[in-house]
Amino acid sequence: MINVAKLKAGEKVLIHAGSGGVGVFAIQLAKQLGAFVATTTSTKNVQMLKDLGADQVIDYKTQNYINVVKDFDVVFDTLGGDYTLDAFKVIRNNGRVVSITGPLDKITAQQLGLNFLVKNIALFQARKVLKLAKQKSALYRMVLMNPNGEELNKIGSMLLKQEIIPVIDTCYNFDDAKQAFEHLATGRTKGKLVIEFNN
Ligand SMILES: NC(=O)c1ccc[n+]([C@@H]2O[C@H](COP(=O)([O-])OP(=O)(O)OC[C@H]3O[C@@H](n4cnc5c(N)ncnc54)[C@H](OP(=O)(O)O)[C@@H]3O)[C@@H](O)[C@H]2O)c1
């Protein structure tokens, strides 16, 4: 959102699954940047996302976000599939769609150093998304998180200053790590799951 979408103050961003492990941080970072934040989640998490600062929380149990948001500058897609394709229905011309689950784009495929065949298979899988991006003169990028010390330091100091509040669903002991991954696989977690190495 910062490095690739280059979200700016005053811009409108839609963050899918704002109640997930990535979403709770993405909402707060986007607010820190001064953006207007709309986000999707289900009824039970609506208040939590308002409390984290989201300007517009769309409850997917009662509303279809496609009818609610329009001409957004950026979509941050954490869901993939149709959500990646439909992002182009809600962005403005020249907008940006950044996905962490969608098909690979050319730049990320190159960064991964994929060989010619695998890269072209990946780009074939991305053809629908790339076509929609072209029709809207939009940017599409699939981003793989690549944390570095400098960025983690910045996030660490925001946490210490309570500019970002971590949301932790459950802490597991290391011995229960399998349960933690089973919990994560339900797709229903609120924020992060933590595995503790020291009891
Ligand atoms: N590219 C990368 O480097 C990278 C890095 C981290 C994660 N990922 C991927 O990014 C995705 C998101 O990760 P995450 O850790 O944030 O996931 P997560 O924590 O498992 O997300 C769970 C949350 O998603 C919400 N959700 C589920 N379906 C939804 C829908 N249709 N609309 C809106 N919200 C919905 C759930 O809310 P409800 O319970 O209310 O439905 C729940 O709070 C995963 O596929 C993960 O593998 C990629």
* pLDDT for 199 beyond 80: no
- Angle at the Cα of 103 from the Cα atoms of 20 and 70, rounded to 5 degrees: 65
pLDDT by residue (tens digit) across 43-88? 999 999 999 999 999 999 999 999 999 999 999 999 999 999 999 9
Q: Are 135 and 176 in contact (CB under 8 A)?
A: no
What mean pLDDT comes out for the span 130-158?
Answer: 93
With CA atoms as reference, report the closest residue to 102 among 16, 189, 2.
16
Q: For residue range 88-123, what is the model confidence (pLDDT) as tens digits?
A: 999 999 999 999 999 999 999 999 999 999 999 999
When comparing pLDDT for 78 and 148, which is higher? 78
In the reported structure, the alpha carbon of residue 41 is separated from the centroid of ligand 1 by a whole-number distance in angstroms of 10
Q: What is the number of the ligand 1 atom nearest to the C-alpha of 80?
A: 45
In 21-65, DSSP assigns E strands to: 36-41, 56-59
- Residue 144 C-beta-side C-alpha neighbours within 13 Å: 9
Strand partners, 37: 13
Summarize pLDDT for 13-54 with one digit per residue, the tens. 999 999 999 999 999 999 999 999 999 999 999 999 999 999
100 touches ligand 1 (CB under 6 Å):
yes
Q: Is the CB of 144 under 6 A from ligand 1?
A: yes
Say what the alpha-carbon torsion angle 29, 34, 39, 44 is, to the nearest 10 degrees.
Answer: 70
Return the higher-pLDDT residue of 176 and 147: 176
Q: Report the pLDDT averaged over residues 136-165.
A: 92
Q: Kindly state the tokens that stand for 24.
A: 């709770």
Residue 172, beta-bridge partner list: 195
- Model-level pTM? 0.96
Ligand 1 atom closest to residue 193's alpha carbon, by position in its atom list: 19
41 ligand 1 Cβ < 6 A: yes
Q: How confident is the model at residue 133 (pLDDT cuts 50, 70, 90)?
A: very high
Q: Choose the residue to mutate in 188, 193, 195 for probing ligand 1, maximizing ligand atoms within 8 Å of C-beta.
A: 188
Q: What is the CA radius of gyration of the chain?
A: 17
Residue of minimum CA distance from atom 36 in ligand 1: 188
Sketch out the chain's domains with CATH numbers: 12-142 (3.40.50.720), 167-199 (no CATH)
CA–CA separation, 45 and 187 (whole Å): 13
